[in-house]
Amino acid sequence: MTTIRSALAALAAMMLLAGTATAQTSESNATSYLCEQCNEDVIKLYVEPSPLQKLVPPGHTVLLFDGRGQVLVIAQDCPQYWLNGEEIGATQEVHMWVAIEGPQDMRPVVGAARTVPTMTWFNLFTGSNNARSREIWTASGTSFVPIDSVFLEPPGPERGGRVILGPEQIFSWRVKSAVLSVPFLGVNHDVYERNSAGDVVLNRIQVLLNVFAHDSPGILEVVGGMGPGDWIAPGTYDVEVHSFFPVWARASLGVDPLE
């Protein structure tokens, strides 16, 4: 019975997110709008901040945690994905964000049992294996890199995942789960990035997370590097992994942050 109730709640939450996307997240000067349902692993690692600060535009400062910068590597396997109202089919994506200083304000998320303060990031890398997705993103001024594939093992006490960015860039992770008893967690992300014209724009992303595991200790193995710059070299790293099965997200993309 609990499983049935959880499934019904998840379905209702997804419908609410889709139905209120324009009301809660749209910006009048956005270039695109996104709505998606995905399974997701988020890998959190801490690295030397100097290479990261070189990638962040002037006026933005890398947020330090015990003297190190925090990077999120987000691996998504999305069976449902809409851009500007067009359903474009199953999509796999990878995002790499560095934490930067921001307001940490509170914004309500429909369907959330608990919501955390807004998190602010600068986008280092975004890739997709869906050609139509890349086409729409490119037309809106955002650079999406082609990737090969994302593989996420199903939820369990020990699991892992693998991302193939290209023939010579692969990373994988193994993790032991630390289960968090929050079924629906609300998160707001303000993600800054440079568009194809070189201007800094803002993506406002609102997410409802069905949390399977939180801050689970794991090992990340990097072959051939990850993304732009020299912020991480090939090798193995201690990481924390969050697992969400699934997430529902909606976003206003390419917003002018000055308006």
> Per-residue confidence at 20, pLDDT binned at 50, 70, 90?
very low
Query: What pLDDT, on the 0 to 100 scale, is given for residue 31?
Result: 83
Question: Of the ranges 5-19, 22-36, 237-251, which one carries the lowest mean pLDDT score?
Answer: 5-19
Structural domains of the chain sorted by starting position, each given as residue range(s) with its CATH number in brackets: 2-255 (2.40.400)
> Per-residue confidence at 28, pLDDT binned at 50, 70, 90?
low
**pLDDT exceeds 50 at position 259:** yes
Query: What pLDDT, on the 0 to 100 scale, is given for residue 218?
Result: 96
Pairwise pLDDT comparison (103 vs 231), residue with the higher score: 103
Query: What pLDDT, on the 0 to 100 scale, is given for residue 1?
Result: 40
Average pLDDT in the 105-131 region?
Answer: 95
Q: Which two tokens stand for residue 76?
A: 């998504």
Instruction: Give the model confidence (pLDDT) of 175-199 as tens digits.
Output: 987 776 667 999 999 999 998 888 9
**pLDDT exceeds 50 at position 14:** no
**pLDDT exceeds 60 at position 140:** yes
Query: What pLDDT, on the 0 to 100 scale, is given for residue 258?
Result: 73
Measured between alpha carbons, how far is 30 from 64 in angstroms, rounded to an integer? 30
Query: What pLDDT, on the 0 to 100 scale, is given for residue 181?
Result: 61
Gyration radius (Cα) of the chain, Å: 17
Question: Of the ranges 7-21, 88-102, 217-231, which one carries the lowest mean pLDDT score?
Answer: 7-21
| Averaged confidence pLDDT in the chain | 87
Query: What pLDDT, on the 0 to 100 scale, is given for residue 19?
Result: 43
**pLDDT exceeds 80 at position 68:** yes
> Per-residue confidence at 208, pLDDT binned at 50, 70, 90?
very high
Query: What pLDDT, on the 0 to 100 scale, is given for residue 40?
Result: 97
Q: Which two tokens stand for residue 33?
A: 């709008």
Per DSSP bridges, beta strands 64-65 and 235-255 are unpaired
Instruction: Give the model confidence (pLDDT) of 145-159 as tens digits.
Output: 999 999 999 888 899
Query: What pLDDT, on the 0 to 100 scale, is given for residue 167?
Result: 87
**pLDDT exceeds 90 at position 77:** yes
**pLDDT exceeds 60 at position 4:** no
